[in-house]
Amino acid sequence: MTTASRIEKDSMGEMSVPADALYGAQTARALHNFPVSGYRFPRPFLKALGMIKERAARVNLELGLLDNDRAMAIMEAAEDVIRGELDSHFVLDIFQTGSGTSTNMNANEVIANWAIQLSGGNMGTRAIHPNDHVNLGQSSNDVIPTTIHIAAAVEIRHSLIPALFALQEALGEKAEAFDDIIKIGRTHLQDATPIRMGQVFSGYARQIALANRRLEIALEGLFELALGGTAVGTGINTHPEFASRVIAGLAEVTGLPFREASNHFEAQAGKDALVYASGALKTCAAALFKICNDIRFLGSGPRCGLGELILPPVQPGSSIMPGKVNPVMAESLIQVCAQVIGNDSAITLGGLAGNFELNVMMPLMAHNLLESISLLTRGVTQFTNLCVKGLQADRRRCEDSVEQSLAMVTSLAPVIGYDRAAQIAKKAHENGKSVREMALEEQVLSAAELDRLLDPRPMTDPGIAAKEN
């Protein structure tokens, strides 16, 4: 921006605006009022907002509400917003008017002034008016929630779900590769009965598959758009066909089944679909947190920890301890998950702010929801590529610990009874012996019978041990 300025006007009077800024008086006022965080609406939001303005101009032209020259100029300017060529002119803070009116007007003013320039005119002349022409048939109260839904749905469907599917596939591949490796299970952080490493990873893969399924369900709510309700849901000052036509165009360009809200009063007063979508993201984060922590602990060591997994080394782990390598990819994604869970709290509080006919925390909800989607997408992608795909299992480490587990006595219980089995386990622990050694010493069963019952492989499948006759 240059130091030169121009004067623009709005309903409250004159405002000085940088000479080369495409925005106008209302944006300048909001820029003065809300220098709060430095957070700006992200690219997916601005792209979706540009899409709405482009389609609105097209439909208003078709309906005979906007003349050809203005409509074509607005559409061309909106295309530049969609492509990101005018992002530097979207200057407003997230923490602004709760309806997002300031940002809607930021878009209206930028598109109007750029359309004027594209038509050979001078900025600020209002030959193409931000309200009368660019915002025709619209209100911030239906445009902003529509923008959030479109941006979130596009990013979930086209970015996050594919990233999670790639992780699911990588975990599934490890489940197959590790299926013959027997390790000790753990419950309450204590030794439990044997389990195959492949079974462990199959559980992880299933968690991610279910996370994706929950996101697909959440998308259904996001596909309903508020556009057409204008100020309070009644549709005042908009053509009866405007919303359906615009939304059909948005569905076409995104490839997603967007539809007009069945009840515009719900769509503008409540933001339950955003809260629900955030809940699905939070649930996904909780699953990822568990998987990352398991992989961290299973890979702890390399000599004095569990050491059952070998994590790919991606960077030195310590500024003071030479040769140390840390599970940094898991740690990175864990922090992403924590942020997503925190964002969900803010989004939930935002959902409570549907006062009468309008929610007044939409910019906050937009920021946090889109940040969660973006963080999960990038965090999951890096974790998949730099950690999961390179995981190896230490077969010897896994299998050596199985024989020493006191939980091996579980397979004896159906044959010798729970109480007797508990006594064997207690004595084995007190004497530093294995269950096999203690059972032989106590002569509870023959060596051959113990070999059969204490074979760990059958313990990893359903069944009840039976005493041989």
Instruction: Supply the residues annotated as catalytic.
Output: 188, 318
Beta carbons of 184 and 191 less than 8 angstroms apart: yes
Question: Is residue 13 left, alpha or beta, with left meaning phi > 0 and alpha meaning psi from -120 to 50?
Answer: left
Question: Is residue 167 left, alpha or beta, with left meaning phi > 0 and alpha meaning psi from -120 to 50?
Answer: alpha
Among 137, 172, 163, 131, which Cα is nearest to 52's?
Answer: 137
b/e map 216-226, b = 16+ CB within 10 Å: eebbebbbbbb
Element (H, E) at 9: strand 5-10
Tokens of 380: 């999951």
Based on DSSP, count helices (H) and strands (E) in the chain, helices before strands.
Answer: 18, 10
Beta carbons of 91 and 113 less than 8 angstroms apart: no
Query: 10 Cβ partners below 8 Å, 6+ apart?
Result: 24, 25, 26, 29
Handedness of CA 18, 20, 22, 24 (dihedral sign): positive
Beta-sheet pairing, 13-18 with 309-310: unpaired
Query: 449 Cβ partners below 8 Å, 6+ apart?
Result: 415, 467, 468
Strands, E assignment, 188-278: 190-196, 224-225, 259-260
Torsion angles phi and psi, residue 316, rounded to 5: -60, 145
Residue 429 CB neighbour total at 10 angstroms: 12
Among 445, 373, 458, which Cα is nearest to 415's?
Answer: 445
Q: What angle do CA 53, 62, 10 make, to 5 degrees?
A: 40
Among 207, 374, 187, which Cα is nearest to 290's?
Answer: 207
**18 pairs with which residues across the strands?**
5
Tokens of 373: 């989607």
